[in-house]
Amino acid sequence: MKIGYACINMELGGSCDKTFQQTGKRCGLCHKCLGGKAKSKVFTNRTCIKRTFEMDSVAEKIENNLQDLLQILTWNEAKGIRFMRLSSEMFPFMSHEELGYTLEELPNAHRVQELLTEIGNFATTHAHRLTYHPGPFNVLGSKNPNTVRRTVKDLETHGAIFDAMGFEPSHYNKINIHLGVGAGDHDNAIARFVRNFSLLSPSVQQRLTLENDDKARMFSVKDLFRVSEQLGIPIVFDYHHHKFCTGGLSEEEALKLAVSTWGDVKPVVHFSESRGIEQGLGKETPAHSDLCYGPVKLYGLDVDIMIEAKARRNYCHSVCRYNKWEDKNF
């Protein structure tokens, strides 16, 4: 079992003095905790806004993002963390209709490819699982053909990055999305998704996964299973989302149904907790908490767990603590 986190919420460098004063715990990620090795912040989502887009500057940001990703992977390896979701912002505006570009079109394309190869080799050598979760604007089942076209382009961009890392197309290095259509009209939305799936390259088709939603009238695990039966797409079970969109299934039933769609690849689940509970409101709310406290109920299943928490540095305490939970009876 691997326990991981989202790269966009990871940042090395800076200082955790304030957090240490409040909690008595060091984050393990900042300049002081790293023994002075991180002279500045280390992160992978350097980007820009549309009006300041300039190719040479963007190319430099990409190179810095990839160099920092290598540092983060090295830190992960030292901490025994071998599962991470990459930031879609590592390549700013890559799939944009007007500003978009390919890897080959970058002015530093050779160096970028070297770094991508190094990242892929590191992940393969040390058995790190790297995944993507592109943004909610990716709606493959949309009624709007322009939305579908943009979705296909964005998903292909993510697939091209994994290809450049040297990963064979597989759900092990998944590209995870939501079905993404508004509430209601499930039958037509699913039909459109199934039809538009054929627009994707085999590289993306063989990596795509679907995640259950967090609103009652959206798509539960039970709904997504209809898509999985037709296309063979695995379902990523999200514990927190299931509380708000059960499809009439218990947590155990929904988890086991989702896990059954993964075939020979180890399933991924998402675990987060309610900000409402964390803040003492006495009720579950859809917003994610800053930290996760657990434990995770796995009902005897073997899965990889993606921790979804919103705090940048000290939330990794959740991941490290979860790694210790492996010794306990889930």
> Are the beta carbons of 58 and 33 closer than 8 angstroms?
no
163 in any annotated domain? no
> For residue 19, what pLDDT is reported?
44
CA distance 118 to 165: 8
> For residue 13, what pLDDT is reported?
59
> For residue 180, what pLDDT is reported?
78
pLDDT tens digits for 266-299? Answer: 999 999 887 766 666 566 777 777 777 778 999 9
Handedness of CA 237, 243, 246, 251 (dihedral sign): positive
36 in any annotated domain? yes
CA distance 220 to 137: 19
Domain that holds residue 20: 8-42
CA distance 190 to 200: 16
- Neighbouring-strand partners of residue 132: 86, 175
29 in any annotated domain? yes
Q: How far is CA 17 from CA 27, 82, 158, 313, in A?
A: 9, 27, 37, 12
> Are the beta carbons of 207 and 169 closer than 8 angstroms?
yes
293 in any annotated domain? no
DSSP for 155-217, written as a single string: HHHHHHHHHHTTPPS-GGG-EEEE--PPSS-HHHHHHHHHHHGGGS-HHHHTTEEEE--SSTT
31 in any annotated domain? yes
Q: How many domains does the chain have?
A: 1
24 in any annotated domain? yes
pLDDT tens digits for 109-156? Answer: 999 999 999 999 999 999 999 999 999 999 999 999 999 999 999 999
For the question of whether the overall pTM of this predicted structure is more than 0.85, the answer is yes
> For residue 292, what pLDDT is reported?
78
pLDDT in tens, the chain (330 residues): 898 888 765 666 555 444 444 444 444 444 444 444 545 688 999 999 999 999 999 999 999 999 999 999 999 999 899 999 999 999 999 999 999 999 999 999 999 999 999 999 999 999 999 999 999 999 999 999 999 999 999 999 999 999 999 999 999 999 999 997 766 689 999 999 999 999 999 999 999 999 999 998 999 999 999 999 999 999 999 999 999 999 999 999 999 999 999 999 999 999 988 776 666 656 677 777 777 777 899 999 999 999 988 765 554 555 555 555 443 432
Nearest to 236 by CA among 214, 257, 211, 256: 211
End-to-end CA distance of the chain: 12
28 in any annotated domain? yes
52 in any annotated domain? no
| CA atoms within 13 Å, Cβ hemisphere of 195 | 11
